Amino acid sequence: MNVQCISELTPDERRVLFKRSGGVTDAKDTAREIIGRVREEGDVALRDYAREFDGCEVGNIDITADAARASEELDADLRAHIETAAANIRAFHEAQVPDDWRQSFGGRELGRRFRPIKRVGVYAPGGTASYPSSALMGIIPAAVAGVEHIAVATPPAETLDPVTLAAIHIAGADAVYQVGGAQAVAALAYGTETVSSVEKITGPGNRFVTAAKADVRGDVDIDFLAGPSEILVLADSTANPAFVAADVVAQAEHDPNASVVAVTDSEALAESIAESIDAQASGREREDIIRETLSSDASGVFLARSISEAVLFAEEYAPEHLSIQADDDEALLERIDSAGSVFLGPYTPVAAGDYASGTNHVLPTNGGARVTGGLSVETFLRSSTVQRLDRESLSNIRDTITALATAEGLEAHAVSVERRFSEE
């Protein structure tokens, strides 16, 4: 990998780097066509697409019972690890459950109450890799929030991954369907003979899944766009280049459309990181995917003229995963607002959050961190406000209400307040 100076990037190179569409834009038309066919043909289309994209014949689309069986038959050791990860994820998400509250604001009793969405669909990806971890990450927050019906869609295969199925069951899914890609999103959004529709679709996926979520948004709610993975490592001269490179290579193995970036103010470190990335990529099981990611215009090792320039670069990039490997990491973090999930220090690899520390790994990509955080219990809750006024607190704002209502030409609004005082 070459090291590039941030200050020498042409406006075009900078635009491509920050745009990093992850291929989602190119997948829009395909996703729309798939959604249209699923709406018209239902299960028939799901079976056809399984043949075309997943190379398999699908018998039962509903595999809820298979997931339960896979969980019973799972190797005891692996099951224990899944349960450890699940317990850590559950504990962190239980700590997020907001309490209903009411407070007096000058006699006006106002508050918020939180209730779970009733029916949600969680996408558990599984095309080029299996993602039991994403099943845990998607389902557990929904279960903690108290969602009544959690439907899970995961790509079909000649032999379904038993670990993903077991994780789906352990996490607490109510219904499981073998359907992947844009067709899964369409089925969850609009329903088919077998798949019943939901009110919100969540979860990560490749560019087709992500483009489909963007397309159905409006007819059904979605969490946010969680597409091909990204990492930005912000490092100073004290960082261990092998640790930085290991995190970069790990993220690069997800998808050839992933984006991996390291930025530092140390020229020597930048060179060592670039060398270590090349060395660590060699011989990996998914080396082809890693190399494709590393060679994309949306990936690279970048040299900043100062740590401030590096911080500004990271903030503008708004990565899905931000790893800070620097002497005073907390001080650098203070200057960053836009990141999906932050990993501080040399012993906090992104893989810890991917699997088992407890935080959620379903995170906004493509700059989404500028406006939202990752999947959480709140993703599965809606809030209503509640209020009670007494005669005195209403009379305190009586003139303000009637003045504004009159200004808007909504006389009946003003009357609805005045009526309370004219019937004494």
b/e burial code for range 216-227 (CB count within 10 A of at least 16 → b): beeebbbbbbbb
Is residue 206 at the binding interface for ligand NAD, with CB under 6 A as the rule? yes
Of 180, 241, 300, 367, the one binding ligand NAD (CB under 6 A) is: 180
131 φ, ψ to 5°? -130, 65
Of 162, 205, 241, 367, the one binding ligand NAD (CB under 6 A) is: 205
Tokens at 75, concatenated: 């190797």
Q: Tell me the three state secondary structure of residue 177.
A: strand
Q: Tell me the three state secondary structure of residue 12.
A: helix
Is residue 320 at the binding interface for ligand NAD, with CB under 6 A as the rule? yes
- Active-site residue 321, yes or no? yes
Q: Tell me the three state secondary structure of residue 233.
A: strand
Instruction: Please identify which of the residues 93, 169, 321, 361 carries the catalytic annotation.
Output: 321
Query: How distant is the alpha carbon of residue 17 from its chain centre?
Result: 21
CA distance 124 to 85: 16
Is residue 23 at the binding interface for ligand NAD, with CB under 6 A as the rule? no
Query: CB under 6 A: which stretch of 127-135, 141-149, 266-274, 390-398 binds ligand NAD?
Result: 127-135
Return the number of the residue (126 or 367) whose C-beta is nearest ligand NAD: 126
Of 17, 209, 303, 377, the one binding ligand NAD (CB under 6 A) is: 209
Which run of H or E residues covers position 198?
none
CA distance 182 to 188: 10
Angle at the Cα of 41 (from 40 to 45), degrees rounded to 5? 125
Tell me the number of residues near ligand NAD by CB under 6 A.
Answer: 31
β-pairing, 3-5 with 321-325?
unpaired
Tokens at 91, concatenated: 């504990």
Show the binding pattern over residues 56-95: x = contacts ligand NAD (CB under 6 A), - = does not: ----------------------------------------
CB of residue 411 to ligand NAD, shortest distance in Å? 51
Of 255, 265, 315, 329, the one binding ligand NAD (CB under 6 A) is: 255
CB of residue 49 to ligand NAD, shortest distance in Å? 6
Is residue 128 at the binding interface for ligand NAD, with CB under 6 A as the rule? yes
Return the number of the residue (205 or 241) whose C-beta is nearest ligand NAD: 205
CA distance 234 to 331: 12
Instruction: List residues with catalytic annotation.
Output: 320-321
Chain positions contacting ligand NAD, by CB under 6 A:
30, 49, 53-54, 125-129, 131, 134, 155, 180-181, 204-206, 208-209, 226-229, 254-255, 258, 320, 361-363, 365
